[in-house]
Amino acid sequence: MKIGIDCRFFSSKFTGIGRYTHELVENFIKLNSALTSPHELILFFNEPEYKDFIYPNHTKKVLVNAKHYSIDEQFIFLRKLNKEKLDLVHFPHFNIPVLYSRPYIVTIHDLTLSMFPGQKMTRWYHRIGYNLTIKNAVKKAKKIISVSENTKKDLIRLLRVPEEKITVIYNGISPDLKVVPEYKNAAHEDFLLYAGVWRSHKNLPRLISAFHLLKNRNPEFKDVKLIITGKPDPHYPEVKHTVRFLGLEHDVKFLGLVPEQELIKLYNQATIFVFPSLYEGFGLPPLEAMSCGTPVAAANSSSIPEVCGEGNAVFFNPHSIDSIAETILSLYKNPTAQEKLIKNGLDHAAKFSWIKTAKETWQIINHQ
Instruction: Please state the rounded mean pLDDT for residues 296-313.
Output: 97
Q: Per-domain residue ranges for the chain?
A: 2-172+353-366, 181-349
Q: Which CATH superfamily is domain 2-172+353-366 in?
A: Glycogen Phosphorylase B; (3.40.50.2000)
What pLDDT is stored for residue 322 in this prediction?
A: 98
According to DSSP, the β-strands at 272-275 and 296-299 are parallel
What pLDDT is stored for residue 128 in this prediction?
A: 80
What pLDDT is stored for residue 180 in this prediction?
A: 95
Q: Which CATH superfamily is domain 181-349 in?
A: Glycogen Phosphorylase B; (3.40.50.2000)
Q: What is the pLDDT of residues 121-174, one digit of tens each?
A: 556 666 788 888 999 999 999 999 999 999 999 999 999 999 999 999 999 999
Instruction: Please state the rounded mean pLDDT for residues 285-314.
Output: 97
Q: What is the pTM of this model?
A: 0.93
Instruction: Please state the rounded mean pLDDT for residues 11-21.
Output: 79
Q: How far is CA 309 from CA 99, 208, 272, 294, in A?
A: 40, 25, 17, 15
Kindly tell me if the per-residue pLDDT of 222 is higher than 70.
yes
What pLDDT is stored for residue 346 in this prediction?
A: 98
How many other C-beta atoms are found inside a 10 Å radius of the C-beta of residue 51?
A: 9
Question: How many whole angstroms separate alpha carbon 107 and alpha carbon 329?
Answer: 38
